[in-house]
Structure 1
Amino acid sequence: MLFDCQRVNNKAKPFENKESQMLAKQEGIAVISHDNYILFPGVTVRMYLACQNANTEWPHYLRVGNEVVYALKYDGSQMSYSTSKEDMPSEILFGFYSIGTVAKVRSFQQLSDTRICFELEGLVKCHIKEIDLKRQKAGMQIPIATDLIRQIPGPAVAANSQKTRAEINSIKISLAALTDKVPALLQNEDFTALARELKNADSFQKEIDIIRKLIYLISSRYLKKLVPGMESIQELLAKKSFEEELVVFNGLLSKGLRSQISQKPQEIGQEQGVKVGETKAPENPQHKARLDKCAEVAPNLRPADRTQLEQWIKNYSSPKISPQHDAAQQKYCDLIDKVLEYPWGKRTEDCFDFDEVRKKFDEELYGLETVKREMYGIIAVLKQRRKANLLGSPGDILCLVGKPGVGKSVSIIVLAHAIGRHYQGINLGGINRIEDLTGQQFTFVGSTPSFINGAISQSGVINPIIALEEIDKMRGPWGDPSAELMLILDPVRNHEIRDKYFPDPIRFDYGEVLFICTANSLTGIPPALLSRMLVLEIPGYATEDKFNIAQKYLIPRWAKETGLAQLAEYQIDSEAIRRIIAEYTEQEPGVRLLEHKIKGLFKSIAVAREYHGKMLDKVVVTARDVPNLVSIDKSPCSIGFRAKI
C-alpha cells in the first residue's frame, strides 16, 4: 500500500461536470469496497485487488478521470450483495457501509487476468442509498449505486465549533503522549513528519488534512500493530461527518494510551514470553556487549546520535534471553549492531616517509610517472594537514581513466600500502539503484546500509582508501546514483552524510575517507560529476613497456605464487616473452591478458614437473616452446621444453 497523500479541494461536488452527472444518472456510479484500505477526501491511495475476469468490467468503470465510490467492506458477517436490507444494520448496504467517499480514478493498470492496480483520489464524503439489484443478479461483479443524492457536509462547516476544536487539541495531546509510550512510532518517518506538521499547523483546514492522513497511515498493518486499540480504525471511513471521525479517533487514541499506562510489569513479562512463577531467563550476552561497545564509542558520537543509540538499546535490546521471537525487535537489534560496527573515531596513522613511499612505488609499478607524481602530491598534502592538526582528505578527487589492465586499481592499492591505510574497492559497474549509495530503510526485508557505509565498517577505520571503480558504467533507471555520489565526494558536505538505513538523527562522517575513482572512458560520466574530479588519463603500454613489465614484475610474481621459484630453477628467454607479446597480446593496451598467459605458462611448467617428477630440476623456456606452454590444454607428456637432468 502506497502512502501518497496530496491536498485536494474538500468542497468539490460529487460529480465534477454535467456529462459525468448525466452518466451517473443513466448508468449509475461503480462502488468499490474493501476492508484493507481507508480513503478520505484529500488522500490518494494506490490499491491492489484480486478479482475474476479483470479484463471485462473493471477497465470500463476505472478509466482515468472517471468517478467511483469507495466504501468500506463490512466484515462482521458473510453477507452477499443479494442479502435483503431488512436483514442488515441500518448503516450497512449490501455487504458494505452506506457512507463512502466519492473518488476520481488517477491511474489504472491490469497486472494479470485476476489482479488489478489503481489509484484513487478522495474528493468528498457521500451516502449510498440504492444499489442496482438487477445488475447484481445478472452476474455483474461491480455494485452500481443508482441513488447517490445525499452529499455529506464538508468539514469546513465545523471550523468554528468549540467541540471540534477541543477534539483536535485532545488528539494532539494524545499523539504526543502515545509517542512517549510507544517509541517505535518515532522510527516511522511518515508518522513523525505528520505529527510534527499537526503540531505546527496554522489553519483548521491543514489540521483536517493532516488528521485524515494520520488515520490513513495508522490504518496500515505495520503501525496498527504498534498502536493498541486500533483494530477498528477502518470504520472511521463510515462516519457521516468529520466531527464523528474526530470523536471516534480521539477515543481510539485515548483507549490505546490507557492500555499503555495501565500495563503491569507482570503483563510486560508475559508479553516477552516470561510467565509469572517461571524460572528466571538467562542473561543475554549480546546485551552486555552492546552496552560495553556503546560506552566505548560514545565519546566519538554526536550528542543526538549518542542519545538515540542509548534509547534504542534501552527499548529493544533485552538483558534476558527471550524464548519468544519478535521480528520487529530483532530488526532494531540488527540496527543497533550496525551502528556499533561502524568504526567511530578509529583511524590508522599514515606513513609519510617519502623514501619508503618512492621505494614501494618503484617496486610495484612500472612507468605511470604522471600517476606517481599526483599521488606524491596527495601524500605531501596529507602530511602538511596533519602537521596543522587538520583532519579530512585533500579536496581533489582523483579519477584514473584508461583501458582495462593499464594499472588503475593497482596504483590505488600500492598507494594504500605505501602510506599504511586500509584499502576497500567498490565496483560501481553493477549499480543501477540509488539505494545502493543511499541505503534503504531498515524496516524493509533484506535492506542494508549503503555500499560506502559497509566498506568503511569492513575496513575498521574511518580513514580508509576507497576505490570507486568503473564509475562510467553506473546506470540509474530507479534514481540517479551519480547525484548521490556527488554528495559523497564533496569535501564540504560529506562530513554529515545520512544513510537511509539508519533513522534520524544518525549521521556519518566520510570526510577522512580518501576516495579515488577509476573509469574506462569519460563518455559515461555525467558532466556535473566529472567537473568535481581531477582526471588523469593513462595510455596503453608499448611493446617494450610490456616486455619490461613481464620481465621485472609478472614473471617473478607468478614464479613465487606457483612455488617454482623455491623448488626448481627456471629460465625464460627474452625471445619467448617477445613471442607471447607479439602473438597473443599485441592488440591489448594493458597487460591483463599478458599476465594471464604468463600465469598459464607457469601452470604448464608445474603440471609437467609433476608428470616427469624429479627428472625435471631446471626448466629453460624458449620461443619454440611458447605455443605449448601458455595453455595447460595440452597433455603433460606433449609439452616440449629443454630440461637439465
Structure 2
Amino acid sequence: MLPLLPLESGPVLPGLVAHMQIPKGRAVRAVERAEKQMVGLLLPKRQLRALPPPPDSEDAAEIVYAAEDLHQRGVSAKILKKILLPDGTMSLLVHGVSRFEVGMLVQSEPFLTAQVSYFEDLNARDPEVEALARQVLMQVKQLSENNPFFTDELKLALINAPSHGALADMVAFSLNLRGPDAQGYIETVDVKERLLKILVFLKKEQDVSKLQKKLADEVESRVAKFQREYFLKEQLKTIKRELGMEEDDKSREKRTLEERLAKANLPEHARKVADEELHRLSTIPETSPEFNLTRNYLDWIAALPWSKQSTDNLDLKNARRVLDRHHFGIEKVKERILEFLAVRKLKPGYEGSILLLVGPPGVGKTSLGKSVAESLGREFFRFSLGGMRDEAEIKGHRRTYVGAMPGKILQGLKRVGTNNPVILLDEVDKLGASYQGDPASALLEVLDPEQNHGFLDHYLDIQFDLSKVLFIATANTLQTIPPALMDRMEVIELPGYTEEDKVEIARRYLLPRQRKANGIEGHAVEIPDETLRVLIRSYTREAGVRNLEREIANLARKAIKEILTSKGRTKVHVTRRTLEKYAGVPRFRFGEVETQDLVGVTTGLAWTEVGGELL
C-alpha cells in the first residue's frame, strides 16, 4: 500500500533524484504518515481545484484532489528529505523507485491510500534495444552542441547507465516532459517502446534547437554588424576630430546657430540674451530635455526679422490704381487711406494711429487690407481674432510650459520674414474673455504706438520693435470693442453698397470671376444689368455683395448644365422673364405698398444696415 500524492511539476522517474513541492492539506498529511518513507506520485488528469486561504492568513492555498482526479499509473518514490514550510506546504527530495498501477483504493481520508502493483521493464535484453540505445546516445551528443541541458556530466552518466531502461529514463528526465507526453512515457513499460519515444522527443528537440540557434545567430550577426559600424564610425569621428576635419553633432549645431544669429543682426539687448543661451547650450548634454528647449528658443531668436524690412512703395498714383482695381466705390475710404500713405511718404518714421475698418459683412474690409499691403509693396499677414479667449495667442506662452511657443504676432513676423509687414487683425469685435486671460487687454500693448516699440512676448522674453508694422483691424460693429482698445485706433466706416454700386461690382468683378471659376469661355453666359438689378432687389438683402456672388454662381452653374444637356445650344442669356427659372422664387419684396387701404395701417420708411425699407 502507498499514500498517493499529486505531482503538478514534471514527472519523477525510477532511479532519479528530484526536488518537488507538495501542496498544503492531505498531501502533507500523507507524507508525514508514510510507512518506510515511500509514496506514490501520480500526475493529475486536469488542473486541481484550490481552496483560497482566509483573508488575513499568509498560508498557501489548499489543493483539493480525489482518486478520480489522478492517473492510474505513476512512479513510487522514497523520501530522502522533507521540510515543512511556514505557509503549510512541504518541500521534498525524493528518489524514484519503480513504476506502478493503482489497484484498490484503501482510504480517502485523511489522505489517499491505495494498493498498488509494480511493473518490471520488458524486452530489456532485446537486440534492437542495444541499437536504439546507441542511437539515443548519438542524438544526445549532437543535441549537446546546441542545448545547454545536455552537459558533459550528463553524457558521462548516460554512458554509465546501469540499464537501457535507466538510460531512457535519464534522457526523458532531462527533456522535462509535460502533460500527455509525460504520462504516456510513464505508462510505457516496454524498454524498446520507451527508447523509440525518446528518439522522437530528441528529434523534436533537435529541430527546435536548430531553429533557436539559427535565430540566435541572425540576432548576433545583426548586433555584431551594428556594433562594428558604431565602433568604426566613432573611430572615424575621433580621427577627423583630431585632424580638425569634422566636429560632432552638438558642436556643428551650435556653430550653425551662431552663424544664423550673426546674420540676424540682433540688437544689443537680444544679442546678450542669445550669447547667454548659446553658452548654456554648450554645457547641456544632448540627451537632456533642456537641450531641445534651449535649441528651439535660439532657433526662434535667429528666425525673427530683427533688422530685415521691405522697401515701401509710396507712389500715391500706384496706390490709387491698386485700390481702384480691387474695389469699386467707397471713395471716402480710399481717400482716407491715401491720406494715411501720403503722411508716411513725407515722414517715414510716422507712428500714427492704427486703422480700424468698420462695416457690415461683405463690403470688402479684409480685401481692402490686402490692397493696402499690395500698394505699399509690403508682406501681408492676417489672423482672425474671432472667438479668441486666451491672451497667450497674442503674447505667447512662458517657456516653463511643455510645448510653449510665441504668440501669433511673432509667428506672423517669422512667416513673412520682414519687420514691417501689414498685419490684419480680423474680427476684432468678436474677441472673448475667459479664466485664461483677456486677449483684448493683451492687444493694448500691441496697438499702442507709445508702447509697441518694446513689445514683450512671454516666450521670447526679449523686447521686439513692432513700431514699423502697419496694423489694420476690422470689425462689424463698435458696440463690443472695449473703449481702451478702440481709443488706440482710428475708425474708418465702410458703408453698405448702393444698388448702382452692386450692379457695377457684379458686372466688373463678380460675373467675370464666376465665369473663370466655372470654366465658362467668352460670353457663353450673359446676365444684363436689368437682370442683375432684379437679382439684387428680389433675391438678396445685404449691405455687401457676398450673397449676390453666390446667386451669380448659382446662375452660372445652371446655365452651364443647360448648355451641356441641350443639343446645339452654345449660349444662355438670363433675362428678367427667365430669371425665376434659374434662381427660383423671389425671396424678398422690393418697393411694394399694400394694394388695399387698411384701417389703422400706414406706409412708412425705415433704415437698416442693409439699406432703406418700406414699412
What is the TM-score of this pair, normalised by structure 2?
0.52
User: What secondary structure does 2:538 align onto?
Assistant: helix
Partner of residue 505, structure 2: 549
Partner of residue 316, structure 2: 354
Partner of residue 306, structure 1: 271
Partner of residue 603, structure 1: 557
Partner of residue 626, structure 1: 579
Cα pair 1:287 1:318 within 8 Å, conserved: no
Q: Which amino acid aligns with 1:292?
A: E
Select 1:364's aligned residue among 299, 302, 326: 326
Render the CA deviation track for 1:203-236: whole Å, top value 9, x for unaligned.
xxxxxxxxxxxxxxxxxxxxxxxxxxxxxxxxxx
Query: In angstroms, what is the RMSD of aligned CA positions?
Result: 2.9
Cα pair 1:398 1:533 within 8 Å, conserved: yes
Residue 430 to residue 610, structure 1, CA distance change in 2 (3 Å): farther
User: What secondary structure does 2:405 align onto?
Assistant: coil
Partner of residue 496, structure 1: 454
Partner of residue 58, structure 1: none
Tell me the CA shift for residue 558 of structure 1. Answer: 2.3
User: What secondary structure does 1:521 align onto?
Assistant: coil
User: What secondary structure does 1:557 align onto?
Assistant: helix
Residue 327 to residue 462, structure 1, CA distance change in 2 (3 Å): same
Residue 282 to residue 565, structure 1, CA distance change in 2 (3 Å): farther
Partner of residue 97, structure 2: none
Partner of residue 406, structure 1: 363
Residue 430 to residue 317, structure 1, CA distance change in 2 (3 Å): farther
Cα pair 1:576 1:626 within 8 Å, conserved: yes
Partner of residue 592, structure 1: 546
Aligned counterparts of 1:343 and 1:422: Cα–Cα separation in 2: 12
User: What secondary structure does 1:405 align onto?
Assistant: coil
Aligned counterparts of 2:581 and 2:257: Cα–Cα separation in 1: 60
Aligned counterparts of 2:571 and 2:236: Cα–Cα separation in 1: 74
Once the two structures are superposed, the pairs formed by residues 205-354 of structure 1 within 5 Å of their partners are: 280=237, 283=249, 286-298=253-265, 301-316=266-281, 325-354=287-316
Q: Which amino acid aligns with 1:497?
A: F
Aligned counterparts of 1:288 and 1:427: Cα–Cα separation in 2: 38
Aligned counterparts of 1:611 and 1:488: Cα–Cα separation in 2: 57
Residue 417 to residue 396, structure 1, CA distance change in 2 (3 Å): same
Cα pair 1:381 1:394 within 8 Å, conserved: no
Tell me the CA shift for residue 418 of structure 1. Answer: 1.4
Aligned counterparts of 1:627 and 1:331: Cα–Cα separation in 2: 64
Aligned counterparts of 1:318 and 1:603: Cα–Cα separation in 2: 66
Tell me the CA shift for residue 406 of structure 1. Answer: 1.4
Select 2:535's aligned residue among 551, 574, 580: 580
Tell me the CA shift for residue 409 of structure 1. Answer: 1.2
What is the TM-score of this pair, normalised by structure 1?
0.49
Tell me the CA shift for residue 292 of structure 1. Answer: 2.2
User: What secondary structure does 2:371 align onto?
Assistant: helix
Q: Which stretch shows the higher mean deviation, 467-476 or 439-448? A: 439-448
Which structure would you say has the larger Rg?
Answer: 2
Residue 314 to residue 559, structure 1, CA distance change in 2 (3 Å): farther
Residue 380 to residue 296, structure 1, CA distance change in 2 (3 Å): same
Residue 554 to residue 448, structure 1, CA distance change in 2 (3 Å): same
Render the CA deviation track for 1:101-128: whole Å, top value 9, x for unaligned.
xxxxxxxxxxxxxxxxxxxxxxxxxxxx
Residue 286 to residue 537, structure 1, CA distance change in 2 (3 Å): same
Cα pair 1:400 1:536 within 8 Å, conserved: yes
Cα pair 1:294 1:310 within 8 Å, conserved: no
Cα pair 1:431 1:474 within 8 Å, conserved: yes
Render the CA deviation track for 1:4-24: whole Å, top value 9, x for unaligned.
xxxxxxxxxxxxxxxxxxxxx
Q: Which stretch shows the higher mean deviation, 571-580 or 602-611? A: 602-611
Select 1:617's aligned residue among 570, 586, 594: 570
Partner of residue 525, structure 2: 570
Cα pair 1:317 1:333 within 8 Å, conserved: no
2:477 is equivalent to residue 521 of structure 1: yes
Aligned counterparts of 1:460 and 1:575: Cα–Cα separation in 2: 48
Residue 289 to residue 596, structure 1, CA distance change in 2 (3 Å): farther
Residue 274 to residue 511, structure 1, CA distance change in 2 (3 Å): farther
User: What secondary structure does 2:455 align onto?
Assistant: coil
Render the CA deviation track for 1:433-459: whole Å, top value 9, x for unaligned.
121211111231232211111112111
Residue 362 to residue 482, structure 1, CA distance change in 2 (3 Å): same
Aligned counterparts of 1:572 and 1:325: Cα–Cα separation in 2: 68
Q: Which amino acid aligns with 2:419?
A: I
Partner of residue 604, structure 2: none
* Alignment length (residue pairs): 344
Aligned counterparts of 2:300 and 2:500: Cα–Cα separation in 1: 50
Q: Which amino acid aligns with 2:492?
A: L
Residue 330 to residue 547, structure 1, CA distance change in 2 (3 Å): same
Residue 594 to residue 317, structure 1, CA distance change in 2 (3 Å): farther
Q: Which amino acid aligns with 1:578?
A: R
Q: Which amino acid aligns with 2:551?
A: K
Q: Which amino acid aligns with 2:261?
A: C
Residue 549 to residue 329, structure 1, CA distance change in 2 (3 Å): same
Structure 1: state its 5+ residue gaps. Answer: 1-272, 632-645
Residue 286 to residue 371, structure 1, CA distance change in 2 (3 Å): farther
Cα pair 2:563 2:571 within 8 Å, conserved: no
Residue 308 to residue 560, structure 1, CA distance change in 2 (3 Å): same
Select 2:353's aligned residue among 371, 385, 396: 396
Residue 545 to residue 276, structure 1, CA distance change in 2 (3 Å): closer
Aligned counterparts of 2:364 and 2:513: Cα–Cα separation in 1: 16
Residue 419 to residue 591, structure 1, CA distance change in 2 (3 Å): same
- Equivalent pairs: percent with the same residue? 33
Cα pair 1:463 1:513 within 8 Å, conserved: yes
Residue 630 to residue 410, structure 1, CA distance change in 2 (3 Å): farther
Q: Which amino acid aligns with 1:338?
A: W
Partner of residue 451, structure 1: 408
Cα pair 1:576 1:621 within 8 Å, conserved: yes
Partner of residue 80, structure 2: none
Partner of residue 510, structure 1: 466
Cα pair 1:403 1:589 within 8 Å, conserved: yes
Aligned counterparts of 2:412 and 2:283: Cα–Cα separation in 1: 29
Residue 565 to residue 417, structure 1, CA distance change in 2 (3 Å): farther
Q: Which amino acid aligns with 2:579?
A: V
Q: Which amino acid aligns with 2:571?
A: K
Aligned counterparts of 1:312 and 1:274: Cα–Cα separation in 2: 33
Partner of residue 335, structure 2: 373
Residue 462 to residue 623, structure 1, CA distance change in 2 (3 Å): same
Aligned counterparts of 1:296 and 1:513: Cα–Cα separation in 2: 21
Cα pair 2:525 2:556 within 8 Å, conserved: no
Aligned counterparts of 1:549 and 1:318: Cα–Cα separation in 2: 64
Partner of residue 192, structure 1: none
